[in-house]
């Protein structure tokens, strides 16, 4: 595991480069006791994430896993590795909506208990309370493990240690850059036919309802009015309204509409105002137009929304190298949401090879409860997850949902993280069935219950030979550090992660475990953090696995290619080299929900391997020198912690 041992196998496809080696005492500036304590803590936290990841069929960094095995004096083997299972693209000529060959119904019985769906082989097993053998997690264990990791983020010696290692990583990269910048560039110049423009990039964090530009939405509305003015598009207070009537009611002439009057772009007014930001989703400040044009389930059966998304998809297919994973909402108000969503997907033929779908669940139990739509939190969870289990065990009964789920990457948890919660998750927290107050559960409570259902579901689906899902919540955009701890355990990867800059321990843990972070500096600039203060450059330099995503092109971007705009601005302002931006693009593919086959096609056959071996420069345009540096640096960081840890075991 030492850099010298790995570099030999690499020699062949990695040019020699100038290495920075530090000799002498590895824990200078910190006492041995403190060092031991820090190493022990970090080791424990990594083991925990590994456990949680394996249960959920999430990827866990191979290098880190190898280190953990080695520290435990066991051997790592590829067979023990748990990997997600994503549906490959339909082959050319194959119908993506094909409903032949759907597996037989298993007629398993399903029942929610403590907010988690339990699976029973039959009625008898259900009666005897003998669930199918799947990992059913419990809130108590999670609460205890969460508090362990939380405690270590506040532990003095661990903080000092991580802070020093992060500073070291920063300085080391600066040296690497100075010494090897030209060597990296030279490698890239030699790569035939591949540059920043034709490496694959996935916009892994983008909301479907804002995935078009403001100008695109405007043009679409005007175009639609020309043909559909007399069509009934809205039902309001029992009255059926045509598009013409809607605009009369709004006192607007669609022809005169401008991006100014549309008013969906974030401005100075939205900074630190999530409420105003959310209101921007309403064109012309009117919820009517959002209802008509940006919803899947409305009077026109989501036809307009589907058309806009298909236009976005055609643009991506033309660009060839850009991909997106738009987020669609499932609220948990009613169990029908899934059927209506999958019907929308199938009816409007929304499949695109450049798209995979993410499901976002807004954390708005309190609103539903207040409106008396649901009796308790468990009901919301049931509405969200039970249909998925149903479609998994009885796919013949839920063909549309079965097909749609093939193209779903996973789940996101969304809302304003800066909202404070009075409740603090603990092992004494009420179970979802008992959560009947109008108060909203805290972030970690949501996260655990989504994660818990996803792992049961993934294990069940794996058994049935179906694709698994990733859990990829919004996390660390604002709010408490607990969010980042919860996601460290439960998430495959996260969106935002801004608050990692506030905790050296968590930042270092996200580094060691290489938890991917999809960052959106332009969105942050409009909402929570000025562009110049974004930690993205710092994170990238240190070696955290960061990527770039747009979040909401409709609200933040100006040009016809929002993802390119995001990359361009980052490259311009942070003076990123081609190697930097291509590394970011590679990270975005890795963390996406595209299939193993797609990833082999996009990144090279060995993409699962760590270090230069796993990199095909002809596809990624990332220099092998950079890959070797990242790999050796990570190995070095893990080994710095190792000897002390070995003593402890």
Annotated active-site positions, please?
496
Binder of its own copies out of 2, 18, 122, 261 (CB under 8 A)? 261
Nearer Cβ to its own copies, position 317 or 463?
317
Q: Contact between 560 and its own copies (CB under 8 A)? A: yes
Distance CA 383, CA 341 (A): 13
Please report how close the Cβ of residue 577 comes to its own copies at its closest, in angstroms. Answer: 7
- Interface with its own copies by CB under 8 A: which range of 91-99, 204-212, 460-468, 551-559? 551-559
Helix ranges (H only) for 420-520 are 443-463, 482-490, 504-512
Nearer Cβ to its own copies, position 1 or 286?
286
Q: What is the DSSP letter of 440?
A: P
Binding to its own copies (CB under 8 A) within 416-445 occurs at none
Nearer Cβ to its own copies, position 71 or 522?
522
Nearer Cβ to its own copies, position 108 or 196?
196
Q: Contact between 506 and its own copies (CB under 8 A)? A: no
260 SS3 class: helix
Please report how close the Cβ of residue 187 comes to its own copies at its closest, in angstroms. Answer: 9
Q: Contact between 287 and its own copies (CB under 8 A)? A: no
Q: Contact between 567 and its own copies (CB under 8 A)? A: yes
Distance CA 305, CA 295 (A): 6
Task: Using the CB atoms, write b or e for 204-219: b if 16+ within 10 Å.
Answer: bbbbbbbbbbbbbbbe
Please report how close the Cβ of residue 383 comes to its own copies at its closest, in angstroms. Answer: 39
Binder of its own copies out of 125, 367, 464, 569 (CB under 8 A)? 569
Q: Contact between 597 and its own copies (CB under 8 A)? A: no
**Terminus-to-terminus CA distance in the chain, angstroms?**
18
Please report how close the Cβ of residue 294 comes to its own copies at its closest, in angstroms. Answer: 20
Q: Contact between 565 and its own copies (CB under 8 A)? A: yes
Binding to its own copies (CB under 8 A) within 205-224 occurs at 215
- Interface with its own copies by CB under 8 A: which range of 71-79, 443-451, 538-546, 558-566? 558-566
Q: Contact between 250 and its own copies (CB under 8 A)? A: no
Please report how close the Cβ of residue 560 comes to its own copies at its closest, in angstroms. Answer: 7
Q: Give, in order, the Cα–Cα distances in Å from 277 to each of 290, 406, 407.
A: 14, 32, 29
Q: Contact between 624 and its own copies (CB under 8 A)? A: no
Nearer Cβ to its own copies, position 194 or 596?
194
Q: Contact between 251 and its own copies (CB under 8 A)? A: no
Please report how close the Cβ of residue 616 comes to its own copies at its closest, in angstroms. Answer: 15
Q: What is the DSSP letter of 439?
A: S
Q: Give, in order, the Cα–Cα distances in Å from 62 to each of 67, 318, 503.
A: 9, 35, 24
Nearer Cβ to its own copies, position 107 or 261?
261
Q: What is the dihedral of CA 265, 210, 490, 485, to 10 degrees?
A: 0
| Number of neighbours of residue 605 by Cβ within 10 angstroms | 12
Q: Contact between 9 and its own copies (CB under 8 A)? A: no
Q: What is the DSSP letter of 196?
A: G
Please report how close the Cβ of residue 287 comes to its own copies at its closest, in angstroms. Answer: 18
Please report how close the Cβ of residue 556 comes to its own copies at its closest, in angstroms. Answer: 8
HEC string of 281-343?
A: CCHHHCHHHHHHHCCCCCCCCCHHHHHHHHHHHHHHHHHCCEEEEEEEECCCCCCCHHHHHHH
Please report how close the Cβ of residue 260 comes to its own copies at its closest, in angstroms. Answer: 5
Please report how close the Cβ of residue 498 comes to its own copies at its closest, in angstroms. Answer: 17
CB 150 within 8 A of CB 485: yes
Task: Name residues whose C-beta falls within 8 Å of residue 108's C-beta, 6 or more positions apart in sequence.
Answer: 119, 120, 121, 122, 132, 393, 394
Give the pair of three-digit tokens for residue 270: 């939205």
- Interface with its own copies by CB under 8 A: which range of 88-96, 267-275, 359-367, 377-385? 267-275
CB 43 within 8 A of CB 71: yes
Binder of its own copies out of 65, 204, 578, 592 (CB under 8 A)? 578
- The three-point CA angle 136-138-143 to 5° equals 145
Distance CA 421, CA 439 (A): 8
- Interface with its own copies by CB under 8 A: which range of 256-264, 378-386, 413-421, 606-614? 256-264
Q: Contact between 260 and its own copies (CB under 8 A)? A: yes
Task: Name residues whose C-beta falls within 8 Å of residue 21's C-beta, 6 or more positions apart in sequence.
Answer: none
Q: Contact between 571 and its own copies (CB under 8 A)? A: yes
Single out the residue of 438, 403, 439, 407 nearest to residue 424, CA to CA. 439
Binding to its own copies (CB under 8 A) within 16-45 occurs at none
Binding to its own copies (CB under 8 A) within 162-201 occurs at 181, 185, 188-198
Q: Contact between 256 and its own copies (CB under 8 A)? A: yes
Nearer Cβ to its own copies, position 148 or 249?
249
Residues binding its own copies: number (CB under 8 A): 48
Q: Contact between 482 and its own copies (CB under 8 A)? A: no
HEC string of 130-149?
A: CCCCCCCCCHHHHHHHHHHH
Q: Contact between 527 and its own copies (CB under 8 A)? A: no
Please report how close the Cβ of residue 263 comes to its own copies at its closest, in angstroms. Answer: 7
Please report how close the Cβ of residue 190 comes to its own copies at its closest, in angstroms. Answer: 8
Q: Contact between 520 and its own copies (CB under 8 A)? A: no
Single out the residue of 264, 168, 140 nearest to residue 211, CA to CA. 264
Nearer Cβ to its own copies, position 145 or 263?
263
Nearer Cβ to its own copies, position 258 or 597?
258
Q: For residue 470, what are the β-bridge partners?
A: 410
Nearer Cβ to its own copies, position 56 or 563?
563
CB 556 within 8 A of CB 266: yes
Binder of its own copies out of 307, 364, 464, 564 (CB under 8 A)? 564
Distance CA 534, CA 498 (A): 7
111 SS3 class: strand
Q: What is the DSSP letter of 533?
A: G
Nearer Cβ to its own copies, position 139 or 284?
284
Backbone angles phi, psi at 105, to 5 degrees: -70, 140
- Which H helix or E strand runs over 198? none
Q: Which residues bind its own copies (CB under 8 A)?
A: 181, 185, 188-198, 215, 253, 255-261, 263, 267-268, 271, 522, 525, 531-532, 556-561, 564-565, 567-569, 571-573, 575, 577-578, 621
């Amino acid at each position: 595991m030492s850099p010298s041992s790995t570099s030999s196998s690499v020699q062949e496809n990695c040019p020699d480069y100038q290495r920075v080696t530090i000799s002498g005492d590895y824990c200078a500036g910190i006492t041995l006791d403190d060092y031991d304590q820090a190493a022990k803590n970090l080791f424990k936290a990594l083991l925990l994430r590994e456990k949680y990841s394996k249960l959920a069929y999430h990827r866990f960094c191979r290098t880190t896993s190898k280190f953990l095995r080695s520290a435990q004096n066991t051997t790592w083997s590829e067979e023990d590795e748990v990997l997600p299972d994503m549906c490959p693209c339909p082959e050319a000529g194959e119908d993506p909506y094909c409903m032949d060959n759907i597996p037989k119904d298993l007629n398993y019985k399903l029942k929610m208990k403590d907010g988690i769906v339990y699976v029973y082989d039959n009625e008898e097993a259900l009666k005897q309370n003998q669930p199918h053998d799947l990992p059913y997690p419990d809130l108590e264990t999670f609460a205890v493990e969460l508090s362990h990791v939380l405690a270590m983020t506040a532990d003095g010696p661990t903080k000092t240690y991580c802070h020093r290692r992060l500073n070291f990583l920063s300085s080391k990269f600066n040296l690497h850059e100075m010494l090897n910048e030209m060597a990296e560039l030279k490698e890239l110049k030699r790569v035939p036919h591949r540059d920043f423009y034709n490496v694959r990039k996935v916009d892994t964090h983008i909301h479907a309802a804002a995935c078009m530009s403001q100008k695109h939405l405007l043009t679409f509305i005007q175009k639609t009015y020309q043909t559909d003015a007399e069509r009934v598009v809205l039902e309001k207070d029992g009255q059926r309204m045509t598009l013409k009537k809607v605009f009369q009611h709004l006192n607007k002439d669609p022809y005169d509409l401008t991006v100014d009057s549309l008013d969906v772009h974030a401005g100075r007014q939205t900074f630190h105002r999530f409420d105003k930001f959310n209101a921007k989703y309403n064109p012309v400040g009117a919820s009517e137009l959002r209802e008509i044009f940006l919803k899947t389930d409305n009077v026109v059966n989501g036809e307009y929304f589907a058309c806009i998304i298909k236009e976005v998809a055609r643009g991506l297919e033309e660009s060839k190298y850009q991909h997106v994973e738009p987020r669609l909402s499932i609220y948990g108000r009613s169990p029908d949401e899934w059927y209506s969503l999958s019907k929308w997907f199938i009816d409007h033929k929304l499949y695109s090879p450049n798209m995979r779908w993410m499901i976002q669940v807004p954390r708005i139990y309190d609103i539903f409860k207040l409106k008396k739509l649901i009796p308790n939190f468990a009901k919301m969870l049931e509405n969200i997850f039970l249909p998925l289990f149903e479609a998994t065990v009885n796919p013949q009964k839920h063909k549309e949902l079965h097909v749609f789920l093939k193209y779903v990457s996973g789940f996101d948890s969304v809302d304003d993280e800066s909202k404070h919660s009075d409740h603090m998750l603990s092992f004494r927290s009420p179970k979802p069935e008992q959560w009947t107050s109008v108060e909203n559960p805290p972030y970690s409570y949501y996260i655990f219950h989504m994660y818990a259902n996803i792992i049961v579901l993934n294990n069940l689906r794996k058994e049935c030979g179906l694709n698994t899902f990733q859990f990829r919540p919004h996390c660390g955009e604002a709010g408490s550090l607990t969010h980042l701890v919860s996601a460290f355990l439960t998430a495959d990867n996260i969106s935002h992660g801004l608050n990692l800059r506030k905790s050296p321990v968590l930042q270092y843990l996200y580094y060691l475990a290489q938890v991917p972070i999809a960052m959106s500096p332009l969105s942050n600039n409009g909402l929570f953090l000025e562009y110049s203060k974004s930690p993205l450059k710092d994170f990238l330099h240190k070696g955290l696995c960061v990527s770039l995503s747009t979040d909401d092109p409709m609200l933040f971007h100006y040009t016809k290619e929002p993802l390119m705009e995001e990359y361009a601005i980052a490259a311009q302002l942070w003076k990123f080299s081609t190697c930097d931006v291509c590394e970011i693009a590679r990270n975005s593919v890795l963390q996406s929900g595209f299939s193993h086959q797609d990833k082999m096609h996009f990144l090279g056959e060995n993409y699962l391997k760590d270090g230069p071996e796993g990199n095909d420069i002809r596809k990624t345009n990332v220099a092998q020198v950079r890959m070797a540096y990242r790999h050796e640096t990570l190995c070095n960081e893990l080994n710095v912690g190792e000897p002390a840890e070995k003593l402890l075991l």
